[in-house]
Amino acid sequence: MPMPCTKKSLHPMQIITTPNDIQSWAIAARNQNQRIGFVPTMGYLHEGHCSLLKTARQHCDQLVLSIFVNPTQFGPNEDFDRYPKNWEGDLDRAKTCGVDIVFHPDAEGMYPTSDKPNPIEDRVHTWINALHTNGSHDLLHQLCGQFRPGHFQGVATVVAKLFDMVQPHTAYFGEKDYQQLQVIHRMVDDLHVPVEIKGCPIVREADGLAMSSRNTYLSITDRKRALCLYQAIQTAQRLITNGCTNPLRITQAAMECVQSATDRIDYVTLCDAKTLTPLHTWQAPSVLAIAAWIGTTRLIDNVIFP
Ligand code: PAF
């Protein structure tokens, strides 16, 4: 069961809405030798976000939470327009988790209008998109990259911008978005960004469903069907614990679970934990990663085999 957040902030929480103001705040905090911890989010906070905030709270003097639904990481037919929002609920959770600063910019601030006001993608003149690992394999085109073209460029670009604004010492990301975490590791390594990246474990509901803001889209019946992702993970874990080292057998068994209750599967892949290239022979560390659809809701989940 996820633990409730307990730590209270000693100072009133501040809301900052412009890149200039957060940057000035960050410079002042750094000048006072304050350690800045940062949790970037798109809001609609749940216990998964809360666990990131709790972890961050223990290791920093100033805890910054950003809430920004980033338009450039959504494809044209994705859920940008209906992405769930709960501003008051988010502020309550943020306070309970000891957040010092909520950074809540708008799209105009993050992507200022230039000569090309719309679509928003045209306002971005500099993208972060060169995320090659080696030769023909690159992180952007594995797993979700095949199904969400442009998504990780949008993520890497907005995270790079947020890092420049918030200037954190350490930033915290959930392992549920495993590929996103690897893309960000790669981005900070490649660009020598002086931010330490910490991945934090997936937080699950009591019945095993990985926490996600998008779970709110699921009806009661669909939520039950969604449990097949966790069942697939448990099946793979059982096989591996029992000595199976055949990636094909492991993915097939997981695939059967996912097939049993979802409407469409994007992938069920056992892959190298760093490059995310699919495995043909067993190796560790590896990750079994899943993306599948229940109706119009796309869910992802994974398990790491260290
Ligand atoms: O994981 C998310 O919520 C988003 O992808 C992130 C990292 C906040 C970038 O918009």
The residue type found at 255 is M
From 223, 217, 166, select the one nearest 37 (Cα to Cα): 166
Residue ID of nearest Cα to ligand 1 atom 3: 41
Residue 5 has pLDDT above 50, yes or no: no
Residue 301 confidence (pLDDT): 98
Contact (CB, 8 A) for 93 and 57 = no
Q: Are strands 36-41 and 62-67 parallel, antiparallel or unpaired?
A: parallel
Residue 119 confidence (pLDDT): 72
Distance 231 CA to ligand 1 centre (A): 26
Distance 174 CA to ligand 1 centre (A): 10
List the single range of 2-6, 208-212, 225-229, 283-287 with lowest mean pLDDT. 2-6
Residue 139 confidence (pLDDT): 83
Residue 2 has pLDDT above 70, yes or no: no
Share of the chain above pLDDT 70, in %: 92
Q: Is 184 in the pocket of ligand 1 (CB under 6 A)?
A: no
Distance 158 CA to ligand 1 centre (A): 8
Q: What is the pLDDT of residues 30-71, one digit of tens each?
A: 999 999 999 999 999 999 999 999 999 999 999 999 999 999
What's the CA gap between 236 and 288, in Å, rounded? 8
Contact (CB, 8 A) for 179 and 144 = yes
Residue 131 confidence (pLDDT): 57
Residue 10 confidence (pLDDT): 57
Share of the chain above pLDDT 90, in %: 87
Residue 52 confidence (pLDDT): 98
What's the CA gap between 199 and 90, in Å, rounded? 22
Contact (CB, 8 A) for 229 and 223 = no
- Nearest atom in ligand 1 to the alpha carbon of residue 40 is 8
User: Among this protein's residues, is 49 annotated catalytic?
Assistant: yes
- Nearest atom in ligand 1 to the alpha carbon of residue 41 is 8
Mean pLDDT of all residues belonging to the chain: 92
Q: Which fold has domain 213-300?
A: Pantoate--beta-alanine Ligase; Chain: A,domain 2 (3.30.1300)
CATH 3.40.50.620, the chain: domain bounds: 14-200
The residue type found at 13 is M
Q: Is 177 in the pocket of ligand 1 (CB under 6 A)?
A: yes
Mean pLDDT for the stretch of residues 151-173: 97
Cis peptide preceding 285, ω within 30 of 0: yes
Contact (CB, 8 A) for 40 and 67 = no
- Nearest atom in ligand 1 to the alpha carbon of residue 73 is 10
CATH of 14-200, one of 3.40.50.300, 1.20.1260.10, 1.10.10.10, 3.40.50.620: 3.40.50.620
Q: What is the largest CA-CA distance in the chain?
A: 60
Q: What is the pLDDT of residues 214-259, one digit of tens each?
A: 999 999 999 999 999 999 999 999 999 999 999 999 999 999 999 9
Residue 115 confidence (pLDDT): 63
Distance 2 CA to ligand 1 centre (A): 21
Residue 175 has pLDDT above 50, yes or no: yes
Q: Is 19 in the pocket of ligand 1 (CB under 6 A)?
A: no
Distances (CA, A) of 189 to 39, 171, 186, 196: 19, 14, 5, 10
Residue 1 has pLDDT above 60, yes or no: no
Beta bridge partners of 288: 270, 303
- Nearest atom in ligand 1 to the alpha carbon of residue 66 is 8
Distance 40 CA to ligand 1 centre (A): 6
CATH 3.30.1300.10, the chain: domain bounds: 213-300
Residue 75 has pLDDT above 70, yes or no: yes
Residue 89 confidence (pLDDT): 98
Burial class (CB in 10 A: 0-12, 13-18, 19+), 34: middle
Question: Which residue among 49, 104, 132, 141 is the active-site one?
Answer: 49
| Pocket mutation for ligand 1, best pick of 51, 72, 159, 298 (most atoms within 8 Å of C-beta) | 159
Distances (CA, A) of 17 to 14, 194, 197: 10, 24, 24
Q: Are strands 286-294 and 297-305 parallel, antiparallel or unpaired?
A: antiparallel
Residue ID of nearest Cα to ligand 1 atom 4: 41
Q: Where does the pLDDT of residue 129 fall: very low under 50, low under 70, confident under 90, or very high at 90 and above?
A: confident
What's the CA gap between 76 and 80, in Å, rounded? 8
Q: 3-class DSSP state for residue 220? A: helix
* Torsion angle (degrees, nearest 10) of CA 5, 7, 12, 17: -50
Residue 286 confidence (pLDDT): 98
Contact (CB, 8 A) for 172 and 38 = yes
